[in-house]
Chain A
Amino acid sequence: MWYVYFEIIAINNLLNFSFRPEGFACVPYTKSEIMTEAERALIRNSQNGDKGAFGELVVRFGDYVFSVVFRLVNEEHASEDIVQETFIKAWQKIKRYKFEKGKFTTWLYVIASRLALDYLRGRKKNVSIGVESDIGSESVSELETKELGAYIRKVCDQLSLTQKLVFVLRDLEELSVDEVVKITGFSEKKIKDNLYVARQRVRVRINAFLNS
């Protein structure tokens, strides 16, 4: 449930037009900001074929990857499978990773987000009717009985893949625009445009829910 609460707060920020409130930038949020020397050593050892070191990297960075993937995919088991696949691909390509080109987490997010998007594309093909029609047909009062967190996740599912990806990375994972550019390969303008639309859509839905 903790991630549901977090998302409520994140959406609350969104409704108040304040994604990064003043003072938040000063919070020592170390999620993916600092790479320790030990982590560098683990990466180097992994590049030299040390599977034990790579296993340690899986333990250290598994949560970061899972966080992004889960927010995109919204299915626990599928997310775990994607995390596993992400690390397998990371192992295959780890020799190509260069410290000077960016953070290791950003590099992992690139792999993870692509796999998650592939999964979502596949899932879209398998689901005949979109989620929007489900929510649209339900009254707000009906939704009151359901978890708000689930509703927020459903709202996110209504976004296009691009909007969802940008929204999750930028607003939920709070990555910088530069990082989002690196991960998605989109231009800054495209990211901002999609983020704007995503925020608007989420805001409208959440407002409707809260006002009810």
Chain B
Amino acid sequence: MDTRNKELYQLKQNSPRLQNKAKIRDRVLAQIELEDSARMHPKQLLVRIAASVFIALSVASYAWLETNTQYKRIETLASISNNYVPVEADMQCQYTMKSLITMLDQAGLEHILDGNTVRLTRFDFEYLKSNNSPLVDEVEQFLEALEKLHPQQYQSYLHGEGAFLTVWQLRSDQRICQWLN
């Protein structure tokens, strides 16, 4: 190695250097610590969100269970005491009932739907029978359902006063539709 290369080698060993490595190390480590502690914050936030969601779901589940239990309790008590709590009729059921009322209306019983009340009397039934209406069978079925499900209204029908059922009752009582079908 000639003198020049030796000199160059020596100089290479003396490239720019940090004056205080320990200071830089301490600053780097301090900054890392700071960033690590700052990075904990989003984690904590995530935990809080998860906890909030869990609590919300728990409350919702509890509320649903309570409501459902209460509903079942009322239903059970009603069935024991013969006070039936009607189950809301589905769309198909409502359509069937509406179709029957419309056909009765078209068969000459225009008065059967009075506002929001359906009123069926023995004279109406007799009228249908005398005209050999194809609706007789369906009205008979309806009367059978009425006897079972709304005995008071059926008694009223038998005594000539007529059975009064509101549209709401017909729409909300799934059992009448099931009977008809």
Chain A residues near B (Cβ < 8 Å): 2-3, 5-6, 9, 13, 21, 23-24, 26-27, 29, 31, 51, 54-55, 58-59, 62-63, 66-67, 70-71, 76, 79-80, 83-84, 87-88, 91-92, 173-174
3 tightest A-B contacts by CB?
A6-B11, A2-B14, A58-B25
- Contact between A84 and B11, CB atoms less than 8 A apart: no
- Contact between A6 and B14, CB atoms less than 8 A apart: yes
Give the chain B neighbours of A91 by CB distance below 8 A. Answer: 28, 32
- For residue B26, give the distance in angstroms from its CB to the closest CB of chain A: 8
- Contact between A58 and B31, CB atoms less than 8 A apart: no
- For residue A3, give the distance in angstroms from its CB to the closest CB of chain B: 5
- Contact between A80 and B24, CB atoms less than 8 A apart: yes
- For residue A204, give the distance in angstroms from its CB to the closest CB of chain B: 23
Interface of A, secondary structure class, is helix
Q: How far is the CA of A76 from the CA of B19 in the complex (A)?
A: 10
Q: A55-B28, A62-B24, A88-B28 are in contact. Are A5 and B11 (CB under 8 A)?
A: yes
The one of A3, A23, A76, A80 in contact with B5, judged by C-beta atoms closer than 8 angstroms, is: A23
Q: A26-B1, A55-B29 are in contact. Are A9 and B8 (CB under 8 A)?
A: yes
- Contact between B28 and A67, CB atoms less than 8 A apart: no
Apart from A3-B14, A58-B24: 9 A-B pairs, beta carbons within 8 A: A13-B8, A21-B5, A23-B1, A23-B5, A54-B29, A63-B18, A66-B17, A67-B17, A79-B16
Indicate with 1 or 0, residue by residue over B3-30, a CB within 8 angstroms of chain A CB atoms: 0110111011011111101101101110
Give the chain B neighbours of A70 by CB distance below 8 A. Answer: 16
- For residue A84, give the distance in angstroms from its CB to the closest CB of chain B: 5
The one of B4, B9, B25 in contact with A62, judged by C-beta atoms closer than 8 angstroms, is: B25
Determine if B2 is an interface residue (Cβ-Cβ < 8 Å): yes
